[in-house]
A and B are shown apart, each in its own frame.
Chain A
């Protein structure tokens, strides 16, 4: 047999010759960049309109723990709840919301498994190299107890961050240079901001306020049963993703405090439609109650449809299945996960079997 390494060198060079060049990739990159920027600005503008107009995702000045009710996610903005500024997005931890720059990523915070950034603003997981070399300007950290590989390494110097619910005392800490870390308590939750830019610090801290999302209660004693209020002809309008974990970071039991809201995200009609279609297409697995045997993390997917209809799907991260509105379990596939496993979800739901070990639970 020929020398293996030499064979690889020769044959890889031959294979590389197969590629056809000439595609205007620089131009395509510019166009994609422009489109993405416009989308961010557009989304933020929509958020402003939503908050101002009273439709869309919810901000409510209360600490209601009512379960999901179905129907359109209602907006209940407190009188002093600020509109989300252009270029910012709303980040929610339990019943506290904070506006953060849209280009920031997501990650962990003190009291959790990882302290630094783990996911970029476009939703891709950062490599160790990316975490170290500062491809991000900032990130939103949450003290997530669970995780694949824990690290107490501090975030890269010069990186701005917001920590929600972190184990940090109230006050200011000088981090060196112009960087200052400031922590305030908002509705019983520590909100910590670090940045060299005083305006950014103040803007983020000032935006912190109590929120209540109708579809995503801040705390639940157990994963809700899937539910739906439609009788065919369901036309999705939007999708609210609510990510939960048990308070103690382990499988919840009757002796624990149940589950807390880690993250919430409002998605548009496209992902909502994709999810509904994909679940309908996914092979049914039976009526067994997989989601009831929670391993500690799960997602509630609240799909709002036309005509005050809605569906709640539930995904227990310890199960390779998704429960539809009737409780029927369907096979978990890329098609029924990709529509909602976006953005910060990938930073807070670490036990996601699809994200961590794709192929093991999909396919065969």
Chain B
């Protein structure tokens, strides 16, 4: 009987780095793809974050939420100035061939508007939007991940919404 032994003192099963990555890499990659808008940049971002996590895995794996740590690394990498530079000299918003069969025109337009929005937003705003509307994070979590005040996180999201509203209005005008 374990009387007197608190749960806090029980050994915690810590996943190996490879086990954890195998379980979480797909959502991380999807998240990074929305941040970067590019398959290769998403892979780079996730790889870079995993490399850092690997270096500190004994500590990271014992935290309550290693995924938050890795996501923060992905966000940081996305926001880093080097990536901003690269983005500014790279073609943006490559329009893909999409299967539009059965898609109402409005939906296709909205999809392209969102794609353009993601491409044109500054990295921090883009990260805030993805965290809010893809990850369903609340503003306190977004602020923690972005390393900013909660009010700033709200501001990033609201500014992005304003841009999207403008983009959708343009679509409506073009269709009219």
Contacts and interface: CB of A to CB of B under 8 A. Distances in A.
Interface of A: 1-2, 4-5, 7-9, 11-21, 23, 25-26, 28-30, 32-33, 36, 124-125, 127-130, 135, 334, 338, 354-355, 358-359, 362-363
Contacts of B47: 25, 28-29, 32
Contacts of A130: 72, 76, 147
A150 B78 CA distance: 24
B165 interface: yes
B96 A7 contact: no
B114 A7 contact: yes
A16 B34 CA distance: 6
B153 interface: no
Given A7-B110, A9-B133, A15-B111, A129 B18 contact: no
B89 A363 contact: yes
A278 B76 CA distance: 27
Contact of A338 (B50, B84, B85): B85
Nearest to A9: B133
A11 B89 contact: no
A358 B54 contact: no
Nearest to A135: B56
Contacts of A363: 88-89
Interface of B: 17-18, 21-22, 25-26, 29-31, 33-34, 39, 42-43, 46-48, 50-56, 72, 76-77, 79-82, 84-86, 88-89, 96, 106, 110-111, 113-115, 118, 129-130, 133-134, 144-148, 161, 164-165, 168-169, 172
A130 B80 CA distance: 13
A5 B129 CA distance: 10
Contacts of B129: 8, 12
Contacts of B31: 16
A20 B50 CA distance: 18
A334 to B, nearest CB: 4
Given A20-B39, A135-B52, 8 more contacts: A5-B133, A16-B134, A19-B39, A23-B29, A26-B17, A29-B48, A128-B147, A362-B88
B169 to A, nearest CB: 7
Main secondary structure of the interface of B (DSSP, over half): helix
A129 B145 contact: yes
A18 B33 contact: yes
A354 B22 CA distance: 38
B42 A19 contact: yes
A26 B20 CA distance: 10
B25 A26 contact: yes
A338 B85 CA distance: 10
B72 A19 contact: no
30 contacts: A4-B164, A5-B133, A7-B114, A7-B168, A13-B134, A16-B30, A16-B31, A16-B33, A16-B134, A21-B29, A25-B47, A26-B22, A28-B43, A28-B47, A29-B47, A30-B54, A32-B48, A32-B51, A33-B55, A125-B80, A125-B81, A127-B79, A127-B146, A129-B145, A129-B147, A130-B72, A354-B85, A358-B81, A358-B84, A363-B89
A334 B34 contact: no
A124 B77 contact: yes
A358 to B, nearest CB: 5
Nearest to A21: B26
A286 B145 CA distance: 44
Contacts of B114: 7-8, 11-12, 15
